[in-house]
Amino acid sequence: MHCLSATQFNVFVQMPGSAPSSCLGPWPKDVGIVAMELYFPSQYVDQAELEQLDGVSAGKYTVGLGQARMGFCSDREDINSLCLTVVQRLMERNGLSYDSVGRLEVGTETIIDKSKSVKTVLMQLFEDSGNTDVEGIDTTNACYGGTAALFNAVNWVESSSWDGRYAVVVAGDIAVYATGGARPTGGAGAVAMLIGPNAPLAFERGLRGTHMQHAYDFYKPDLMSEYPVVDGKLSIECYLSALDRCYTVYRNKIHAQWQREGSEKRFSLDDFGHLVFHSPYCKLVQKSFARLMLNDFLTHPSPNTETGPFAGLDAFRDVRPEETYFDRDVEKAFMKASADLFERKTKPSLLISNQNGNMYTPSVYGCLASLFAEHTSSELAGQRIGVFSYGSGFAATLYSLRVTQDHTPGSVLEKLVSSLSDLKVRLDSRQKVSPAVFSENMKLREDTHHLASYVPRCPVEDLFPGTWYLTRIDDKHRREYGRRPLNQDLSSEPEVVRSSTATEHGPSPAKKIPRIPAAAGGPQAAVGN
């Protein structure tokens, strides 16, 4: 491994999770998530009002899907602007220099170019620092792309390629559907994560259960449309079957670890302090949690059906998991049996999902951020957090993170929890719009998202301060962006940058991106993944 230069070390000492000044060891300790930042749009539509507009029965979206509000983007935002916003906020709020980053990975399924990656657009943020030595690229497979990008970053830090700098992982998407039953499962947002050693959220080595299989449950074959093709029933079956298989593999691996340590203990839901899931809609998460209890029950050699969590479940002892995906009796019984555990271990993680909707690749990481927003550092310290990530087509992994024990004031854990503690305030600071206005925005995106020579129409003033936004698309489909100042009193024109600095005349001079200090102000029926 390389030793850090004095310059590199001076950059790193301001943030926890960076490498020490001495030579790096053969395997960095506690590699994982050092810091997180979350961005969601400034506008939302109320799901109860959307039920009325769509003429469906009251409660179909709010109770049936478990959704309260849905965030959405106007024509001012695209995948590039979402990711520019969340990365710059991560760097600003944590006082990081761009030359402290050696890898930048993006996971997204919101494709606006078949060749040019979102990651290359984000490199505009690095221009002032002069740092172009940044590995990584985009990863795509429905909602799983963010997790694949995260694994790539963790593997880089733990590899011989690591040069001692941080990795940054960005998961971002705009989830939109054609008019119909799937539309209320939309949403939008982005999550950025800082990856390094000595992290408050460390990956547990060797504990990943993965399942990948071919299916046409959700896919986007029409490159002129933002909308997917969805087989809702198959999508749910794929999600639940992947959960079953990933949980089986994960348990087998942790049992093998425990046996090597001389323990014959059985793994169950009780061994997770918390569980977060990819959340297309909240009700599916509750059903998924119950499904894990079903797995525990069916694999237990002699479950107690008289008392305890399995009481009264004896009638389901011989069911076959693959025949229960749509069995209402099984679903109802195990949702009831797991209700208390769900309330404690998973429900707090659904804040963003319930209030903003499905974000595709950032969905599961929005749930992780919500979990931290809803707990204190002392409540989280030492906990094992299970993470289930799913992307249609399909790919899935269940893995676990271990929270550091140190929750003292000023610790890396306390700083992480504190940075996410304002999520409720940020959600409540959004602007509510009518379902009619929401529908108009969806129609505008549908008609214009693929156009060249286009100037967005929606007001910049509707965006949160500090948000990057699309200013124009030229006749060669090149996109230009500006950033709304963090200080709303600033009247100067925003800095304008292009998604590519190359022109037909050769490279243009590096654009100066303003260094604005962090400030108080605005935030940042199918599975559909």
Q: How far is CA 218 from the centre of its chain?
A: 18
- Please give the pLDDT value at position 223: 85
> Which amino acid is it at 469?
Y
> Which amino acid is it at 52?
Q
What single DSSP character describes residue 431?
E
From the CA atom positions of the chain, what is the Rg in Å? 23
For residue range 314-323, list pLDDT tens digits in order: 999 999 999 9
- Please give the pLDDT value at position 505: 31
Burial of 431 (0-12, 13-18, 19+ CB in 10 A): exposed
| Of 117, 112, 138, 362, residue with least CA distance to 220 | 112
| Of 387, 392, 183, 151, residue with least CA distance to 281 | 183
Cα–Cα distance list, 289 to 144, 233, 283, 387 (Å): 19, 19, 10, 12
> Catalytic residues, which ones?
109, 143, 278
Give the C-alpha separation, 521 to 26, whole Å: 43
- Please give the pLDDT value at position 515: 31
The H or E element spanning position 470 is strand 468-473
Question: What backbone torsions phi and psi does residue 4 show, to the nearest 5 degrees?
Answer: -75, 140
Could you tell me the two tokens for 421? 């503690």
Is the pTM higher than 0.75? The answer reads yes
- Count Cβ atoms below 10 Å from residue 274 Cβ, excluding itself: 24
- Please give the pLDDT value at position 486: 87
All residue ranges of the chain with pLDDT < 70 are 1-26, 488-529
- Please give the pLDDT value at position 22: 44
> Which amino acid is it at 252?
N
Task: Tell me the CA end-to-end span of the chain in Å, nearest whole number.
Answer: 39
- Please give the pLDDT value at position 528: 59
Annotated binding-site residue numbers for CoA: 235, 283, 287
- DSSP β-ladder status, 166-175 and 187-196: antiparallel
Could you tell me the two tokens for 280? 């297309």
- Please give the pLDDT value at position 527: 62
Annotated binding-site residue numbers: 235, 283, 287
Give the C-alpha separation, 285 to 368, whole Å: 13
- Please give the pLDDT value at position 6: 37
Which residues touch 66 (CB under 8 Å, ≥6 apart)? 281, 282, 283, 285, 286, 350, 354
Could you tell me the two tokens for 145? 């792309």
- Please give the pLDDT value at position 449: 86
| Of 426, 421, 427, residue with least CA distance to 380 | 421
- Please give the pLDDT value at position 16: 56
Instruction: Assign residue 331 a region (left: φ > 0; alpha: ψ between -120 and 50; beta: otherwise).
Output: alpha
- DSSP β-ladder status, 166-175 and 101-107: parallel
| Of 76, 55, 74, residue with least CA distance to 473 | 76
Give the C-alpha separation, 15 to 34, whole Å: 9
- With b for 16 or more beta-carbon neighbours within 10 A and e for fewer, the 85-96 pattern comes to bbbbbbbbebeb
| Of 81, 53, 142, residue with least CA distance to 358 | 142
Asked if residues 462 and 484 have their Cβ atoms less than 8 Å apart, the reply is no
- What is the full DSSP assignment across 248-298? HHHHHHHHHHHHHTT--PPP-GGG-SEEEE--SSHHHHHHHHHHHHHHHHH
Question: What backbone torsions phi and psi does residue 456 show, to the nearest 5 degrees?
Answer: -55, 150
- Please give the pLDDT value at position 12: 41
- Please give the pLDDT value at position 513: 31
CA dihedral defined by 49, 54, 60, 62, rounded to 10 degrees?
Answer: -20
- Please give the pLDDT value at position 519: 27
- What is the full DSSP assignment across 393-419? TTEEEEEEEEE-S--STTSHHHHHHHH
| Of 156, 524, 153, residue with least CA distance to 366 | 524
Give the position of tokens 């599975």: 527
Give the C-alpha separation, 20 to 22, whole Å: 5
| CA angle (129, 104, 176) in 5-degree steps | 120
Sign of CA dihedral 274, 278, 279, 282: negative
- With b for 16 or more beta-carbon neighbours within 10 A and e for fewer, the 146-178 pattern comes to bbbbbbbbbebbbeeebbbbbbbbbbbbbbbbe
- What is the full DSSP assignment across 107-167? E----S-SSS-HHHHHGGGGGGGT----B--EE-BTBTHHHHHHHHHHHHHTSTT--S-EE
